[in-house]
Structure 1
């Protein structure tokens, strides 16, 4: 029993001779990566075991051959342990980084959802209050002049159209975010898609005295869904019209570039603040604090829908400032011949 106690004390002393300095080293590793921590813990553990075994072996006066064999076994097992530990450490580091990014994305999405609810509630509550006031005035006979009555009816219809468009945008955005969007992919001529949409929104541009020009260039054939691509073009054109002052010009161009076709909408909005460019396609982002209906039509969802639909086509959308305005460019995979 005394021999066993003595061997235990010798092994303990040898292990502590390595473990205590090792603990101090590990303390200095605070703030380092998970891989560094795991590697440090394993290294200290293996060295402490080796020190305890070697101390005990030397005290027992074992042969040089047996000591060499013992050291080889400890070295091999130590290398294996460190290799496995470093591999696990890298895995843990990658998983920790992924988890942190996932939490950040979740916080960003949650903040976006809160902003969306707040902004859409404002966009619905304000016109509803106006419609209710006009309806009550008509019902109570406060307004009897035929011209005023007709104007109230027109304004109620306009507000109904605005709210219907907002609800449609919300429905489309929810389909995109939920992954419920189903595209009917086919070969499409961008010329036909753009010309149809330009003809549809031309009266809106004309009413605002904005010149809308579709340049006759080498329009490509792309792979896409006609309905969704038309929605992309329409949203970009309506956004350009709403932000271009009277007597301004909006130009639509297109072309092919390698394995992708592209079209661009260039307006005369005067440019966008550089710090707003990265956030322009965020949900409900308008780049201004004003929320007065009529100043910025729509619910701030049009460009977010554009990005979602373009992503669904495996394409890209970008925006950049140009002289006197900005340019939105959409790239869609080209149709193979």
Structure 2
């Protein structure tokens, strides 16, 4: 019994000395990553055990060979324990990084939702106030001249169409964010989709005196859902036309790289501020300074969007297994969509 107490005392003293040194080492890494903390803690623990075993082995007056066997066994166990602990620490550190990224992403999404509610509330309140005023004017016969009545009716229709487009955008965005969008993929000639999108955008382009240019041939065929792809191209065109000053140019190009087809929409908007480039596809982001649209003409037929068009583009493209990005070019910016080619 006395021998066991002596052995325990030797082990305790040796471990206490190493542990005291280890406390100092832990203080040195207190501002380091979680991986450094766990690695230091493992090293201190293993060093304490090793010191205790070594002290006890020496106190037992083992032969040189037996002592060497004990030390080799302890060293191998320590090395294995340290390796397993460091591997676990790496996984734990990576999990912590992922959790932090998830929290940041959640905060960004929450901020985007609040911003979206603010933008949509503004975009709905403005036309609703105008509709109410025009309806009351017609009801009270404040406006009774045929020409004025016809103009009021036209403006009511325009504002109603605008709100309808905004509601459609919100519905489409809700499908995307909920993961409910499952496009039925099939071979789609990109040239036909671009031609229809140009025709749909022609009134807006004419009103803003913006030229829309596209080659007649060389269009690839992509795997996509035609309706969703048409919305992607139309949204990109409308966005570029809205932000291009009068007498500017919007150009559409396409091609194929290996297994991917690409579609590019370039404009002469003057460029996007570098700080805004990472956010152009965020929900409710409308940009500042260089990308602030000029006032439209009286006959504008385009949606004065709620900052949802490019967010919908990104969601639809990613639902097709593609990707989209934007960058500045000389005198403007360029949006590039990549989709699987047939």
- Is the 2:208–2:296 Cα contact (8 Å) retained in structure 1? no
**1:327 aligned partner:** 334
Identify if the C-alpha distance between structure 1 residues 330 and 140 changes in structure 2 by more than 3 Å, giving closer, same or farther. Answer: same
Out of 245-254 and 219-228, give the one that drifted further: 245-254
Following TM superposition, by how much is the alpha carbon of 1:118 offset from its aligned partner in structure 2, in angstroms? Answer: 0.9
The equivalent residue for 1:27 is 27
Contact 1:212 1:251 survives alignment (8 Å): yes
Number of the residue aligned with 1:37: 37
CA RMSD of aligned residues (A): 2.3
CA deviation map 1:49-88 (0-9, x unaligned): 2222332333343444443333233222212211211111
Deviation larger for 30-39 or 163-172? 30-39
* CA deviation after TM superposition for structure 1 residue 293, in Å: 9.3
Q: Counterparts of 2:2 and 2:263 in 1: how far apart (Å)?
A: 89
Counterpart for residue 73 of structure 1:
73
State how far apart, in whole Å, the 1-side matches of 2:308 and 2:101 are: 25
**Residues 293 and 203 of structure 1: CA distance in aligned 2, closer, same or farther (over 3 Å):** closer
Q: Single out whichever of 317-326 and 292-301 deviates more from structure 2.
A: 292-301
Structure-1 separation of matches of 2:130 and 2:164: 16
Q: Equivalents in 2 of 1:311, 1:123: separation in Å?
A: 27
Give the CA deviation at 1:111: 0.9
The corresponding residue for 2:189 is: 189
Q: Is the contact between residue 243 and residue 294 of structure 2 (CA under 8 Å) also seen in structure 1?
A: no
| SS of aligned partner of 2:274 | coil
Q: Following TM superposition, by how much is the alpha carbon of 1:299 offset from its aligned partner in structure 2, in angstroms?
A: 0.9
Partner of 1:176: 176
- Other-structure match for 1:261: 261
CA displacement, residues 126-149 of structure 1 (integer Å, 9 cap, x when unaligned): 111121122222222333333222
The residue aligned with 1:14 is 14
What is the total number of aligned residue pairs between the two structures?
335
Q: Secondary structure at the match of 1:317?
A: strand
What is the CA–CA distance in structure 2 between the aligned matches of 1:7 and 1:94, rounded to whole Å?
Answer: 41
Instruction: Give me the TM-score of the superposition, normalised by structure 1.
Output: 0.91
Look up the match of 1:218: 218
Q: How far apart are the structure 2 equivalents of 1:152 and 1:19?
A: 85
